Amino acid sequence: MTKEEIIAKLANTKVYVGGRTEEVQRKLFELGIRWANNYDDTIIDAIFIYIEDGYMQWTRSLNSYNKSSNKEIYIEDIMSLTLDIEFKPFDKVLVRDDIDDKWDINLFSRMNNNCSGLPYKCLDVAYKYCIPYEGNEHLLGTNKSSN
């Protein structure tokens, strides 16, 4: 799915994340969803997350969650989403293995279909995260998420 399709699919939703809050937030960051209140990519100890117009808000109040008119979704609805980015051989890319790692530059080679955990094969090895270099130059050497 494109980023726009993901944002549209998750628009005006709410999810109970409970003990999986960090995992869900990292996935939402990966999909391009950000905190509405400028928390950057900070992991918040949230129990409930609301998603509106590509931004997240959080609460710990069950009463507030129940009163919200947002459509309830489940963690699996979020975790199953994938952001489609098509790369061609020799495209300049930024890569990393963990969301907390710093972005390194590389050249894309091919999709690594033999390993779902490291799907992006570059000149040296395969990586878990891969984004276009163009438009994301400012992320090189940082551990910030792409928007």
Whether residue 75 sits in one domain with residue 110: no
The CA distances from residue 104 to 19, 101, 107, 113, in Å, are 31, 9, 10, 22
126 and 61 in a single domain? The answer is no
Please state the rounded mean pLDDT for residues 79-90: 87
Please report whether residue 146 resides in a domain. no
What does residue 53 show for φ and ψ, rounded to 5 degrees? 55, 40
Instruction: Give percent helix, percent strand, percent coil of the chain, each to the nearest 5.
Output: 25, 30, 45
The reply to whether 46 falls in a domain is yes
* Domain count across the chain: 2
**Residue 50 shares a structural domain with residue 106:** no
Average pLDDT over all residues of the chain:
89
Q: 50 lies in which domain range?
A: 3-79
Whether residue 14 sits in one domain with residue 46: yes
pLDDT for residue 7 is more than 80: yes
Q: Enter the pTM of the model.
A: 0.65
Residue 87 lies in a domain: no
φ, ψ for residue 43 (rounded to 5)?
-85, 120
Burial of 21 (0-12, 13-18, 19+ CB in 10 A): buried
pLDDT reported for residue 115:
64
One domain for residues 62 and 120: no
Tokens of 119: 């799907």
Average pLDDT over residues 125-142: 91
